[in-house]
Amino acid sequence: MSSPKDLSTLPTPPACIADFCIIPIGTGSASVSKEVAEVQRLLRGCGLVVSMHSAGSTVEGSWDDVMKVIGQCHSLLHGNGVVRIQNDIRVGTRTDKKQTSREKVEKVEMLLREGE
């Protein structure tokens, strides 16, 4: 009842914030910093809003653009010889308002100051 007849024509969301933690498997090295740097370099050239923290990389844009560039990160690492990759993507979408990742943090920090 609540679903459209042909779900295959549903669009993907116009905006999302995705935070991902990409893990190369089988490289023989316990370090992942080289791969994370390559991912960051690709992200910073992709035209979307990106940032980095100790547990992942964050990218903002349309669902299709964001997922395309994350997939390209996989291909980049595979092209450099990583045979297997596991990735954890936290992705959020909302229809009530636009909010950047920076605004999310600022709102929490404002609440923390108010509570002091």
Please give the residues from 29 up to 58 whose contact with a copy of itself meets the rule CB under 8 A: 29-34, 36-38, 40-42, 45-46, 51-56, 58
Please give the residues from 1 up to 30 whose contact with a copy of itself meets the rule CB under 8 A: 2-4, 7-8, 10-13, 16-17, 19, 21, 23-30
Least distance in Å: CB of 6 to a copy of itself?
9
Least distance in Å: CB of 104 to a copy of itself?
5
**Within a 13 Å sphere around the CA of 115, how many CA atoms are in the beta-carbon half?**
6
**Cα–Cα dist 68/111, whole Å:** 35
Considering the rule CB under 8 A, would residue 76 count as an interface residue with a copy of itself? yes
Please give the residues from 84 up to 113 whose contact with a copy of itself meets the rule CB under 8 A: 84-96, 101-102, 104-105, 107-108, 111-112
Closest CA to 15 of 55, 48, 52: 48
**Cα–Cα dist 67/64, whole Å:** 5
Cα–Cα separations (whole angstroms), residue 62 to 27, 37, 103? 32, 23, 18
